[in-house]
Structure 1
Amino acid sequence: MAKMWSCVTVLLLHSIINYFVNCELPSEIEKCVAGDVICIVETINHIVQNYPNGIPEIGLDSLNAISFNGVVVSEAVPNTPMQMNLKFRTLTVRGFENTTILRAKGFDKDLRHGFELSGWTPSIHLDGIYEADGKLMMLPIQGRGQAQVLLTNCQFTCRAKAIEDLRTDGKRYAQITRVKCLVDIHGLHVNFDNLLDNKELSDSMNELINSNWRDVWHTFRKGISSAVDNVAESILKRVVNKLSHDDFYKHL
């Protein structure tokens, strides 16, 4: 009896290992021919729209809420209206589950060419614990507390570079080496608690920021784009670590 259970255990472990090592896209998701960017755009949008909670089998985590620690949004630049250091000790990003991919480039069989995705997200919510000091609109600030940042009508282009990783299963996997995103928005609204010692002054400062959001965005843009880089890179790395480059495409 013990021997029989040992055999069953070995077979079960073997099945589990094969499942995770040789994972593929779920059968209901259409595979595309390498280089067919129209098909790839449709497939990615299908995944985003139909799997907002992710697909654990291929390493895709939930897109509803993605968390980070220690995100620097801006650093003080002397002799500018926005001499502000802003850092999120904790940060949760929401809204990527509503993303629509509009264009794709690359996605060839040759990983050296990299790939590019451009898209649109109606709104991105950033929520977390912040620390800030410096000058904003030439007014001194020093605050810590809860913060919410809402970005509306967000347009982005993300470019990724990768190298080939041939594994012992005989398949090629992608190692992401660089992700760079350019982000533009058509609206910004913030609410920083305790931005100043006085609540009324803090509320007034928040109103001032929101009234001059275009100027503020120029200060925040680099750091927020960097946060989007981290989101995109973390999503891509988890997926390509589990889903081989060969299994992503349709074989003719």
Structure 2
Amino acid sequence: MFIKIICCLVLVSCLVSINAFKFPLDIERCSAGDTDCIVRVSNTFIEAAGKSGHSGIALIPIDPLHIPSITIKQGADSPVNIELQFKEVDLIGLSDCRFSRITGFQKDPNGKYSLACKGPALYLVGPYKISGRVLVLPIQGVGKSNITLVEPEITMTFDGKGIKRGNNEHLAIENAKLTFKVNRLIFDFQNLYNGDKVLGESTNRFLNENWSDIFKEIKANIFDAFTLIAENTLRNVFTKVPYSDLFAN
């Protein structure tokens, strides 16, 4: 009986914690469907909380956004036949991005969602390992890297579905997809060819001169990797915050 009582108390406390969520007072809320307000408030919030995160809505710091691992692997049938691994890297610059369009977020959570934003630059900085062939050039190296995405325009789409948690309805993300356009990519791979400075500099120069062709070949893998990152970041928020609590009405 004592164990049953303890279990009941634990269950009740869990339900209370689910149902007792209070939306933070320092974040402005818009009416459902008011896209102009949602864009404005989102931009203000990202500027203020992008680097610190916000525990009240389970948003982790996104600038820098720490990424434990990214792997880009192209098959032999591609002109860019590489295996490129990043470990414990940081994506820098998201807090400087601004939303230009946000759709969805109506009273009914079920439906199509889209978020589009632009920024001056994003920097993927940290350790890398690469091997393979880029166009006609064999390449291999292990060291530090900095890949700059100049003037990225990012679009994320997903299907929203309302799901019950306790007495509240939350937004679940399905069929997420992230794509982006860039004005330019700038590659800086240090310690290529075991530190051969001449070969390393000529290879980085070759990569930067041919960035557009390289991006066409690897962008699908990059999109898949960044989709998972964005999806997990948003899922943390939507899991904590009941859907109706996102809005003022």
Task: Report TM bin, short chain.
Answer: 0.7 to 0.9
Q: RMSD of the alignment, in Å?
A: 2.3
Give the TM-score of the pair, scaled to structure 2: 0.86
Instruction: Determine the C-alpha separation between the residues in 1 that align with 2:189 and 2:171.
Output: 40
Letter of the structure 2 residue corresponding to residue 55 of structure 1: H
Gaps of 5+ in 2: 1-12
Instruction: Determine the C-alpha separation between the residues in 1 that align with 2:188 and 2:133.
Output: 17
| Partner in structure 2 of residue 171 of structure 1 | 168
User: How many equivalent pairs are there?
Assistant: 236
Give deviations 1:127-181, integer Å, cap 9, x for gaps: 122221111131211222221111110001101223222122x221112233211
Which runs of structure 2 are paired with 1:189-228 in the superposition (5 Å)? 189-197=186-194, 198-228=196-226
2:110 match: secondary structure = helix
Letter of the structure 1 residue corresponding to residue 70 of structure 2: V
Conservation of the 8 A alpha-carbon contact between 1:115 and 1:159: yes
Matching residue within 163, 170, 179 for 1:182 = 179
| Partner in structure 2 of residue 101 of structure 1 | 99
| Partner in structure 2 of residue 157 of structure 1 | 155
Letter of the structure 2 residue corresponding to residue 26 of structure 1: P
Conservation of the 8 A alpha-carbon contact between 1:73 and 1:222: no
Conservation of the 8 A alpha-carbon contact between 2:87 and 2:127: yes
Q: Which moved more, 1:28-37 or 1:113-122?
A: 28-37
Matching residue within 20, 28, 35 for 1:37 = 35
Matching residue within 228, 233, 246 for 1:230 = 228
Which runs of structure 2 are paired with 1:6-25 in the superposition (5 Å)? 22-25=20-23
Conservation of the 8 A alpha-carbon contact between 1:90 and 1:130: no
1:57 match: secondary structure = helix
| Partner in structure 2 of residue 241 of structure 1 | 239
Conservation of the 8 A alpha-carbon contact between 1:67 and 1:91: yes
1:231 match: secondary structure = helix
Give deviations 1:79-120, integer Å, cap 9, x for gaps: 62x222212133221111111000111112222203111110
Instruction: Determine the C-alpha separation between the residues in 1 that align with 2:139 and 2:204.
Output: 11
Gaps of 5+ in 1: 1-13
How many Å apart are 1:20 and its aligned residue? 7.4
Instruction: Determine the C-alpha separation between the residues in 2 that align with 1:240 and 1:127.
Output: 28
Instruction: Determine the C-alpha separation between the residues in 2 that align with 1:38 and 1:125.
Output: 29
| Partner in structure 2 of residue 4 of structure 1 | none
| Partner in structure 2 of residue 47 of structure 1 | 45
Instruction: Determine the C-alpha separation between the residues in 1 that align with 2:215 and 2:114.
Output: 24
Give deviations 1:191-218, integer Å, cap 9, x for gaps: 1123223221011101111122212221
Question: Alignment identity in percent?
Answer: 25
Letter of the structure 2 residue corresponding to residue 172 of structure 1: E
| Partner in structure 1 of residue 146 of structure 2 | 148
Instruction: Determine the C-alpha separation between the residues in 2 that align with 1:193 and 1:50.
Output: 34
